[in-house]
Structure 1
Amino acid sequence: MDGVASRVSASAIYESLKEMILSFEIYPGSRITESDLAAFFGVSRTPVREALQRLAQEGQVSIRTKQGCFVRQISISELAQFYRVRTAIECLSLEIAARSMAKEALWALAREWDPAHCSGAATDLSLMVQKEESFHMTLARGGGNQALATYLNDINERIRVIRRLDFTAGFRIERTYEEHHRIVCLLLEGDLAAAKTLMTDHILQSEKFARSVTLEQLARTENGAARSAMR
């Protein structure tokens, strides 16, 4: 990484570090220090410390006394647990949305995810991840259960570090559009059971794909082909 000459706030440091972690610019398991980050951002250690504490609260890093700060490792077993919880939350959100979400909102969501609109979606993977998360959050909020949306957002924070890998293949983007569109159409048709089945399969396939790519990425790291930008 090249240094940043201008001074930035703790919030800006937090956003920059989070983006670097989620994009694998800082690799899982990497050790980062307040002093290195302070030099990189051209600030004192205080705003860096604040940013790291916020990331620690989200589970993106772990702060170890007298050892430094470490970007969280990707655990395949932990990943599977998060996806199991996500599946349960997503299916519950469909149940509530089927009862309470306005038809107009569902129609708007169906139009947004019409497969005809997927061309060019791969030009910005970060935007695609945000759009995909927004789909699920819209359904979760659509039924009016804020607690459900809060829990889903927490799960998203935990798995976002590898979700981006799901869209590195163009066919995954096309399939996501098709499946999202079909899920909403099934809700509009009143077929909740089929919508839940498709949602479950959609999440399981996403987990399987992301997990396989993650293992490949980790293998490359162990072979020395991918190194942390902070070292």
Structure 2
Amino acid sequence: MQRDDKERIVSESFRKGTTGSIYETLRQSIMNLELYPGSRVTETELAQHFGVSRTPVREALQRLAVEGYLTIRPKHGCYILQLDVFELAEYYDVRVGLELEGIALMGQRIPYREVAQLAEDWDPEQARYGMSGSEEFKDAEELFHIRLAELCGNPILVQYLRDVNNHIRIVRRLGLPDQDSVMQTYREHHEICQRILANDMDGAAVMLRAHIHESQAKSREVTLAQLQMRRRERALGTDAGSDSATPGTLPAN
């Protein structure tokens, strides 16, 4: 391997590592509402804050945009996703409709083996997720609903559900799940699968609807509490009234 090739590979590896680090720092700042909903960030100020070029910053921002954490407006900067509780309620309504339709479609030909695997994955006696950290559990919880939708055999429905998830992912991940809520999720996921396996699609739909509505209520409560706390902090801080998330609002490097 030529020396130039080695240097290029090392440089590329370093850049990817830097992008990942910036992405994770920004994502956590958005999740913690340190980057306030609706506030503006730019590649230039973030590059200065992290002490890097704009390229890894741009790549991190693009990834965050794909995942629904912010919106990129060319020549204007990036805007952190707004948390409008009324709009979020509308997204949850769409989510419920999509997931219930998925259950109805699945009832036409139940993929027993795949549903049985989901039931096993979420057996409360096994409790594989949520023990090593809330992020692992929340990733698994979201994936369960996507996987359940995939089993209905309609990829367009699944894509719409993914799009909805991009809009509500922040509020679904606010707050730390306690052990009781983790185990309740296990029981409900497991029971939904068991009802499908018993060909009780109506029962599965009723339980799924209740499960999502309870999650929505908890997310709304946590979102309002977090927003109220951050508003108080901003009112007491020097950036009160500003719509720009300055580098000073980010964790120190």
TM range (shorter): 0.7 to 0.9
Mapped pair 1:129 → 2:138: yes
Mapped pair 1:230 → 2:250: yes
Q: Distance in 1 between matches of 2:132 and 2:175?
A: 14
What TM-score does the superposition give when structure 1 sets the normalisation length? 0.84
Partner of residue 218, structure 1: 227
Q: Deviations over 1:135-189 (max 9, x none)?
A: 1111111122111111111111111111123653332211111111110101011
Paired residues of 1:22 and 1:160 also in contact (CA < 8 A): no
In structure 2, do the counterparts of structure 1 residues 128 and 14 end up closer, same or farther at CA, with 3 Å as the change threshold?
same
Q: Distance in 1 between matches of 2:22 and 2:156?
A: 25
Q: Deviations over 1:30-64 (max 9, x none)?
A: 43221221123433224433543454455422345
Paired residues of 2:23 and 2:61 also in contact (CA < 8 A): no
Partner of residue 149, structure 2: 140
Q: Which residue, out of 28, 43, 54, partners 1:45?
A: 54
Paired residues of 1:55 and 1:61 also in contact (CA < 8 A): yes
Q: Partner amino acid for 1:230?
A: L
Q: Distance in 1 between matches of 2:97 and 2:187?
A: 21
Partner of residue 113, structure 1: 122
Tell me by how many angstroms 1:101 deviates: 4.0
Q: Deviations over 1:174-228 (max 9, x none)?
A: 1111111110101011111111011111111100011001100011111118987
Q: Partner amino acid for 2:114?
A: A
Paired residues of 2:33 and 2:230 also in contact (CA < 8 A): no
In structure 2, do the counterparts of structure 1 residues 82 and 120 end up closer, same or farther at CA, with 3 Å as the change threshold?
closer
| Structure-to-structure mapping, 1:1-231, within 5 angstroms | 8-9=15-16, 12=20, 15-16=23-24, 17-53=26-62, 55-56=64-65, 59-63=68-72, 68-118=77-127, 121-165=130-174, 167-224=176-233, 229-230=249-250
Q: Partner amino acid for 1:98?
A: G
Q: Distance in 2 between matches of 1:45 and 1:32?
A: 13
Q: Distance in 2 between matches of 1:162 and 1:64?
A: 23
Gaps of 5+ in 2: 1-12, 238-244
Gaps of 5+ in 1: 1-5
Paired residues of 2:99 and 2:149 also in contact (CA < 8 A): yes
Computing the radius of gyration over CA atoms, which structure comes out larger, 1 or 2? Answer: 2
Structure 1 residue matching 2:218: 3-state secondary structure: helix
Paired residues of 1:8 and 1:43 also in contact (CA < 8 A): no
Q: Distance in 2 between matches of 1:120 and 1:150?
A: 25
Deviates most, 187-196 or 57-66? 57-66
In structure 2, do the counterparts of structure 1 residues 141 and 15 end up closer, same or farther at CA, with 3 Å as the change threshold?
farther
Structure 2 residue matching 1:123: 3-state secondary structure: coil
Structure 2 residue matching 1:62: 3-state secondary structure: strand
Question: What's the RMSD between the two structures over aligned residues?
Answer: 2.9
Q: Partner amino acid for 1:193?
A: D
In structure 2, do the counterparts of structure 1 residues 98 and 70 end up closer, same or farther at CA, with 3 Å as the change threshold?
same
What TM-score does the superposition give when structure 2 sets the normalisation length? 0.77
Structure 2 residue matching 1:70: 3-state secondary structure: strand
Tell me by how many angstroms 1:13 deviates: 6.4
Partner of residue 3, structure 1: none
- Percent identical: 38
Q: Partner amino acid for 1:118?
A: A
Q: Partner amino acid for 1:128?
A: F
In structure 2, do the counterparts of structure 1 residues 130 and 204 end up closer, same or farther at CA, with 3 Å as the change threshold?
same
Q: Distance in 2 between matches of 1:25 and 1:7?
A: 27
